[in-house]
Amino acid sequence: MAVEDKHISYRIYLVAVFIFLMAIAIVVKLTNIQWVDGEYYRKLAKQRTVRNFVIPANKGNIYSADGSLLATSIPNYEIRFDAKAPKTETFEKYVKPLSDSLATVLDKPSSYFQKELRKARENKNRYYLIARKLSYTEYVKIKNFPLFKLGAFKGGIIVEQETVRKHPIGKIAERTIGYDKIDPATGVEVGKGIEWAFKNYLNGKDGKILKQKIAKGQWKPIRDVNEVDPVDGYDVISTIDVFIQDIAHHALLKQLEDYEADHGCVVVMETQTGHVKAISNLGRAEDGSYYETTNYAIAESHEPGSTFKLVDLMAILEDKVADTSTVYDSHNGVVKYYGRSVRDSHNGGYGKVSLARGFELSSNTVMVQAVYNAYKSNPSKFVNHINSYGLNKTLGLHFKGEGRPYIPQPGDKHWSGTTLPWMAFGYNVSVTPMQTLAFYNSVANDGVMVKPQFVSEIKEWNKTIKKFDVEVINPQVCSPETLKKVKAVLLNVVKKGTGSKLYSKDFSMAGKTGTAQMNYGGKEGKSALYYASSFVGYFPADHPKYSCIVVVHKPNTAKNNYYGADVAGPVFKRIAQKIFTDAPSTNKIKQLDSKIPKQEISYDKFDNESNKKLNQIPNLKGMPGMDAIALLENLGLKVKVNGMGKVKNQSIQAGTSISKNATIVLELS
């Protein structure tokens, strides 16, 4: 019995020792967790329940050259309710008045809100959705409702804001204004146009707000203030002129519709500065309507056809291998090189004509002979001229996706006996419409080639952050003597050449027609052939203010014809005449096309002088309240609002100098 008791005592001791060791291990582990790994686990717990969320900064505005808004950020608000936050007596006191107030704004009966708010309270819902996509005016009204005006902790109101990018002038120039966003499928940042090219200025710096995880994976702000306040982006002042843009857009649209064309583009550029005053790129949808798609003027590199003949004329005159009076035989409209025929569009040719007349009539046979005879033994000399004009490389625009030109170089594997003559009438080469325009603009600008620009400066309020000066690509494309002759010939193209239908004794224009046969080497054969009609030049011819190019792809030949003078030329003429005969009295875009919805047409946001300076109070009358608030806040003003709807009166009159952080009261109707 004693032995058995002794064994039992041993077992008890062993169990006691084991328990003691386990207790020590637990104490060691707890001590380790508390003091050694404690910081790690505390951080882990905090990361899983508390997190910093990004508050996107307000993007800067994009303005036109005349001060109209092209793109702006409009705030949208979301209101939620932490049903556990208010005390019971507070909730019961205000639930009905709050419901009554919500019913006046959110178009649902008071009984609905009372039921839902009580349900949220019973379910301890800390993130109940009240409303989303609210305007600033609606947000201000709701946050001052009973209960909510007590704040986040006592009243349970949760406010979240997002910004939405709006284009006040609608779809016009949409492709050039562009966008900058995150692709939801890939999470990759994508963008186009000015928004993308100048995002580092526009986007500002994001802020941070601390949120705590609550039920059902939802997150609630911990405090009313941000951890890091967002910094607004700078404003971008574009070179676009809304008045000219509207003219160009509708002139192109009309011609595309009339000819049922596939797509087209137009660019109007200020001669001396290279500032692009208007650019429109319209493609045809399946339903036959047209909208801004690809930026054809910048991205589409293709064979230009006869507009390239200016290169021939300038090179020949500069090298003095022929003169404008040199006579060539058009050989009944057909000349052959290495078994391949070059033909004039006019059957039978033009007989024997001078080089100048051959250019005015756009004779392929005359221009090809002139180039081939002068440079067949040294084609590099001709190609070097093209290279010196910058047509062998991109313009280096800020936009991504600029089309790459192609100019064959002697010695390349693709160079052949027919390369030189075919280059002479705009084939076997590839350039973008914008490159062609820059070249013609150099003639209008007394031989100085300037880089096309879409943005003139970056501003913070009325302070200039960065100014984009005129950028010279080539200070002298040719001699003054050559330039004088070239200008005279380009003027005669409109007076008595292929562009004679455009001639007006009251208004002088100069330029060149172009008609290029496209896809002639395609696998589909003749059925795939189509034409690209173009006109490029400048106006007024005597003192050029603007240069302009129009390109229309795939006009329906059954409608009439496909020549540049008939398809593209009228667009050029319409733009030129309207710019100088319909001087704008306001910045309001005219409703020129009934197919453009009224809401897409910009209202008069500023008077002219205020627009240009961007440091004066704009004229807000007639503007929707939320747009006016967003605009004023972006200008650094504090805004108070009475009423709902559109602006009826403003406490600070239009034209008054802006004082940062000043308060303006808007009366809405």
Which CATH number does the domain housing residue 199 bear? 3.90.1310.10
Domain contains 47: no
Taking a C-beta distance cutoff of 8 angstroms, is the pair 218, 192 a contact? no
Comparison of pLDDT for 171 and 624, the residue scoring more: 171
- Phi, psi angle pair for 222, to nearest 5°: -80, -35
Asked if the structure places residue 261 within a domain, the reply is no
**Would you call the peptide bond into 540 cis, given omega within 30 degrees of 0 as the criterion?**
yes
Judge if 415 and 481 occupy the same domain.
Answer: yes
pLDDT at 597: 35
Q: What is the percent of the chain with per-residue pLDDT over 90, rounded to a whole number? A: 57
Q: Quick check: 593 and 171 in contact, CB under 8 A?
A: no
What is the overall mean pLDDT for the chain?
85
Contacts of 49 (CB under 8 A, 6+ apart): 212, 213
Read off the pLDDT of residues 4-38 as tens digits, 9 standing for 90 and up. 666 667 777 777 777 877 878 777 767 766 666 66
Among residues 581, 607, 642, which one ends one of the domains?
Answer: 581
Domain boundary among 523, 558, 581: 581
Prediction pTM value? 0.74
**Above 60 in pLDDT, residue 526?**
no
- Domain ends where: 237, 256, 280? 237
- Kind and range of the H or E run holding 450: strand 449-450
Pick the residue with more confidence: 620 or 46?
A: 620
Query: Do the domain assignments include residue 513?
Result: yes
In a domain, 279, yes or no: no
> Are residues 309 and 438 both part of a single domain?
yes
Q: What is the mean pLDDT of residues 192-210?
A: 89
User: Is the model's pLDDT at 407 over the cut of 70?
Assistant: yes
Residues 650-669 have a mean pLDDT of 83
pLDDT above 90 (res 624): no
Question: Is residue 219 situated within a structural domain?
Answer: yes
In a domain, 286, yes or no: no
Q: Please give the residue that has the higher pLDDT: either 562 or 343.
A: 343
Q: Is 525 domain-assigned?
A: yes
Mean pLDDT, range 481-490, rounded to an integer: 98
Separation between Cα atoms, residue 148 and residue 154, nearest integer Å = 8
Q: Based on the domain organization, do 25 and 104 belong to the same domain? A: no
Region 45-69 average pLDDT: 78
Q: Taking residues 141-165, report their average pLDDT.
A: 89
- 123 and 27 in a common domain: no
Q: What is the pLDDT of residue 4?
A: 61
Between the CA atoms of 522, 523, 526 and 528, what dihedral angle is there, to the nearest 10 degrees?
-60
Residues 192 and 298 in one domain: no
Whether 73 has a pLDDT exceeding 50, the answer reads yes
The CATH number covering residue 658 comes to 3.30.10.20
Beta strands 352-354; 327-329: pairing state:
antiparallel
Q: Is the pLDDT of residue 598 over 50?
A: no
Comparing CA positions, the residue from 345, 263, 336 lying closest to residue 305 is 345
pLDDT greater than 50 at residue 495: yes
- Whether 553 is in a domain gets the answer no
Q: Assign residue 317 the CATH number of its domain.
A: 3.40.710.10
Same domain? For 454 and 377 the reply is yes
Same domain, 367 and 400: yes
* Same structural domain, 14 and 142: no
DSSP state of 320: T
Domain span including residue 627:
616-668
Dump the DSSP string for 468-501: ----EEES-SS-HHHHHHHHHHHHHHHHHSTTGG
Indicate whether 333 and 222 sit together in one domain: no
Q: How many residues does the chain have?
A: 669
Does one domain contain both 29 and 58?
no
403 and 514 inside one domain: yes
Please state the domain count of the chain. Answer: 4
Residues 438 and 475 in one domain: yes
User: With 70 as the cut, is the pLDDT of residue 91 above it?
Assistant: yes
